[in-house]
Amino acid sequence: MNKAKHIAIIMDGNGRWAELQGKKRVKGHEKGADVVKEITTYCANNIEIERLTLYAFSTENWKRPRLEVEFLMKLLDKYLKDELKNYLKNNVRFEAIGDIRAFSKTLQKTIHLVEEKTAHCDGLVQSLALNYGSQDEIIRAINRLKSTDSDITMQMFHNALDCKHDVDLLIRTGGDKRLSNFLLWQVAYAELFFIDQLWPDFTTNELEKIIKKFKKIERRFGGLK
């Protein structure tokens, strides 16, 4: 039976959720942050799940309206500060993947602080993809390896990536059926679940149903069995 050791989620639909309710888009992002907390706590208490990687802010999200981007930056800073006690309570190690150099010095400091404070935790690893794009990640990995004298191996390239762990199960909420430049290398043999539910409506019960379906899938990794 399959084990969903590494779950990755494209958390889509926050803005649409708010608009459908006649609210400002930022209200959807606030609700989405609450769902992140619930899903992370659920995964932290499931001994089979080792890693949870969440697509929080992409390299393309800078194209959104300036006020929305500014709100997202403030929300991220607040989320990390507020969530630190829960990370520690649930033995969750936080890490950021992506190029966070584009963020303000204040936000970078918060990110590094939470990484340091949770570095000793040996339970679930929650990775937030921040200013992350898989194509950007791959280019940065290539640049890290440019000075290598020997031929580059699969393992060398894998280790040069921000996320060094293959994904078992990828979920995208919001109805769209695309990867949107997320973990393109790491999802090579992942099982993909695209659901119509918007992220603010996503629940631990829904995640549990998906994991049960995942467990029954025959994963062949290119072979016959």
Task: Respond yes or no: is residue 86 known to be catalytic.
Answer: no
Strand partners, 127: 53, 95
Task: Respond yes or no: is residue 82 known to be catalytic.
Answer: no
Q: What is the largest CA-CA distance in the chain?
A: 58
Catalytic residue among 12, 90, 131, 162: 12
Catalytic residue among 14, 45, 46, 61: 61
Catalytic sites, residue numbers: 12, 61
